[in-house]
Structure 1
């Protein structure tokens, strides 16, 4: 079974930008430690409105399902819920361009 690439947008709640950045820095390594994502290096960027956009690869559909019951992932998702809203990336201003450009995540 091949992997599943996902693109997700995290828009920080007011005053929670630093906390979101911290979570984003550890997101992939936690998923990797749980053996849920591939070795493909994630791409992380920021939109003009502060939304963090992440592109990463789940190992499989089964890995996605496993994430919904994995204690480490569930705790991580709770932390994300405290600092951001998940947003569809299609609604970002940048996505209206033929070549969508973002600021690299540092």
Structure 2
């Protein structure tokens, strides 16, 4: 049986690029779904105080992660994201210092 895993992707918009990032993210998850890479589990999209956007979704399998890196459509979107945002991690967020961090739903 292929095991799925839940991922959190954190994107800190470059100055003045938050709206552009949000537009790109509107096609990100639908593209991953169309390519059969993620499950139909409900997507969570959150925003931290500093503007960082967090996507939480579920890969269908470890193989799906590898397939995403081989997909021209997915890589194109990831390149676009990279042009308007810095990829970051939870430890950079003020909220990560709290035992029960709260984020704004998007």
With normalisation by structure 2, the TM-score equals 0.95
Cα distance per residue 1:42-82 (max 9 Å; x no partner): 10100000000111111110000011110100111111111
Alpha-carbon distance in 2 for matches of 1:37, 1:8: 13
Asked if 1:33 is matched to 2:58, the reply is no
SS of structure 2 residue aligned to 1:19 = helix
CA RMSD of aligned residues (A): 0.8
2:101 corresponds to 1:103: no
Give the paired residue count.
105
Unaligned runs of at least 5 residues, structure 2: none
Q: CA deviation at 1:83?
A: 0.6
Task: Please list every run of 5 or more consecutive structure 1 residues that lacks an aligned counterpart in the other structure.
Answer: none
Using the size of structure 1 for normalisation, the TM-score is 0.95
Q: Which residue of 2 aligns with 1:53?
A: 54
4+ aligned runs moved over 2 Å, structure 1? none
